[in-house]
Amino acid sequence: MAIISTVRECHYKSHMISKEDHDFIVAFDTNDPNVRDAKLKENPHQAAKTFLNLLGHISKDQTIQYILTMIDDMLQEDRSRVEIFREHSNRKRESVWGPFLNLLNRQDGFIMNMTSRIIAKLACWSHDLMEKTDLQFYLTWLKDQLKLSFEAPQDTNFHARVEQDNTMDKEANELHELQSPNNEYIQSVARCLQMMLRIDEYRFAFVSVDGISTLISVLSGRVNFQVQYQLIFCIWVLTFNPLLAEKMNKFSVIPILADILSDSVKEKVTRIILAVFRNLIEKVEDGQVAKEHCIAMVQCKVLKQLSILGQRKFDDEDITDDIEFLNDKLQASVQDLSSFDEYSTEVKSGRLEWSPVHKSGKFWRENANRLNEKNYELLRILVHLLETSKDPLVLSVASFDVGEYVRHYPRGKHIIEQLGGKQRVMQLLGHEDPNVRYEALLAVQKLMVHNWEYLGKQLEKEQTGTSNAPGTKPGAQVPAKA
């Protein structure tokens, strides 16, 4: 075998590897699991020492691939074996992560991703959690692998055939089978995240490296159903933490998953999306946030999808239970829905459309002042959409709403100017879409007309006050102020 010949060469010719390392790996490299188990129990310290020495002294990619596969097999056979590496590093007073994290910088994709799988197993199956700095490095690496995989237009054929090495186990060969031009090893990266995010402490660390945004960014692109399932699974396990479940829709999770649900033909994808939606209602401790999540689902046409799904027969009882739960909750939220709740949720979703509240004069008369709540939260979102959105419909509706706010709230013009809204609307006067230009022009007119009305009222008040002053004759001219 290649590994044996390489070890012999290193040991006998260059003395880079000790006799103990040589003898252990020769004895351990067998297809008999009982022999391997006996060897590990006989001297677990030597096992960790040998594997780490080989990884540190051998540079040949093919040999390192084989060693990593042996380690991965060893851990897969018995999860408790992760402690072999932990105990060895404690005895040596060295980091257990250092040798493996360094391999993530290699150029060979198989080496990087097999190493990543080993790190995930060590981090999840050990009694001790991964330390903060190493954890942040590893999670950032996983996040960056997701981003890199989707920088180029995606090829939807994820099943390119690659010549397999019969010396590697089935799970290791899977790493090769998942290659595609822009999507190498993506399912292996996702599997590592699925493992890591089951642990609550790792969830917060992932969020701190902007992990949720990356998941949503990938899901909003073209990905196959297996990647969809794995990444939505990651979102699902995140929602078991109430604090994270409350924040989740700030990343537009509900609109993205609602779109996937409407297009999904795979039962496993449908099941995991429904489970996420249920958690976003059930796990959230703040009743108002849970209500907002329900409204967001209604606005994203989830009720319609539930109706369609309810007509299908599923073998999985969880799907049926989740459909009934969501139907009950969303129907109840519709009954309690105020026009302002509906408007607020729509604005927060960033998906503005010409829903009835926008064109309702009654709505604006009664609720314009409520846009000032929570430090002008909704106004800030509208201004942000005017600045960042590429959707002509969103820009048109946001422009209209700014104009209506100014028209119905006395100090609206001043507030909109302070938030930068007037400048954003005026920039849209030159937009390529005629509907955007039209709504922007109307909004600017409302800004200006509001100002004229204000000046007119001030002038009228001043004239009235002067005409009532002692010694002033009716019809006498009011002197201009300097």
Q: How confident is the prediction along the chain (482 residues), in pLDDT tens digits per residue? A: 556 556 556 554 556 678 888 888 888 888 888 888 888 888 888 889 999 988 988 888 998 999 999 999 999 999 999 999 999 988 988 889 999 999 999 999 999 999 999 999 999 999 999 999 999 999 999 999 998 877 644 433 333 333 333 334 444 444 443 444 345 689 999 999 999 999 999 999 999 999 999 999 999 988 889 999 999 999 999 999 999 999 998 899 999 999 999 998 899 999 999 999 999 999 999 998 999 899 899 988 899 999 999 998 888 889 999 999 999 999 888 877 788 988 998 898 888 999 888 999 899 999 999 999 999 999 999 999 999 999 999 999 999 999 999 999 999 999 999 999 999 999 999 999 999 999 999 999 998 875 545 545 555 665 665 555 444 443 333 333 33
What does the pLDDT read at residue 9?
Answer: 60
What does the pLDDT read at residue 198?
Answer: 96
Distances (CA, A) of 106 to 99, 137, 395: 12, 15, 46
Q: Is 311 exposed, middle or buried (0-12, 13-18, 19+ CB in 10 A)?
A: exposed
Sequence-distant (6+) residues with CB within 8 A of 19 are 11
> What domains sit in the chain, N to C, each tagged with a CATH number?
1-126 (no CATH), 129-150+184-337 (1.25.10.10), 360-460 (1.25.40.150)
Tell me how far apart the alpha carbons of residues 193 and 351 are, in angstroms, rounded to a whole number.
29
- For helices 253-263 and 267-282, give the axis angle rounded to 10 degrees: 150
* Contact yes or no for 54/28 (Cβ under 8 A): no
* Contact yes or no for 195/211 (Cβ under 8 A): no
What does the pLDDT read at residue 11?
Answer: 54
Nearest to 414 by CA among 447, 445, 439, 387: 447
Q: Is 130 exposed, middle or buried (0-12, 13-18, 19+ CB in 10 A)?
A: buried
Q: Please calculate the CA angle 319-325-330 and round it to the nearest 5 degrees.
A: 120
Identify the helix (H) or strand (E) that includes residue 453. Answer: helix 434-467
